[in-house]
Amino acid sequence: MGLTKEEMKRNVLQLFGGQQQRVAIARALSSESLIILADEPTGNLDQDTAMSIMRILEESVHHFNKCAIIVTHSNEVAKRADVVFQLK
């Protein structure tokens, strides 16, 4: 998930945005749920970190045969989706 051993031992509140997102993804993937709901998973991240998070989420969801439902305002995030529903 891109975390160091030291970061994995820290309280999640002591981590930065991208690190917190990685922990949240790891927790969601480790659950038995087949569906992951993600509300703005890249909302407060810089572009490089956001795309890193999306790459991790995309690869992991496909690998573990799960479905991720992502709510986003980001066109870049939406472009990575297999299916897009746009609400107007």
Torsion angle defined by CA atoms of residues 43, 24, 57 and 41, in that order, rounded to the nearest 10 degrees: -10
Write down the domain spans for the chain.
5-79
**In this structure, which CATH number among 3.40.1410.10, 3.40.50.300, 3.30.70.1520, 3.40.140.10 belongs to the domain 5-79?**
3.40.50.300
Q: Length of the chain in residues, anyone?
A: 88
State the CB neighbour count (10 A cutoff) for residue 70.
Answer: 21
Residue owning tokens 């609400």: 87
* pTM > 0.85: yes or no: no
In the chain, at which residue ranges do the beta strands (DSSP E only) sit?
A: 35-39, 67-71
pLDDT per residue, tens digit, the chain (88 aa), is 566 667 666 666 666 666 777 777 777 777 888 999 989 888 888 888 888 888 888 988 899 899 999 999 999 999 999 999 998 8
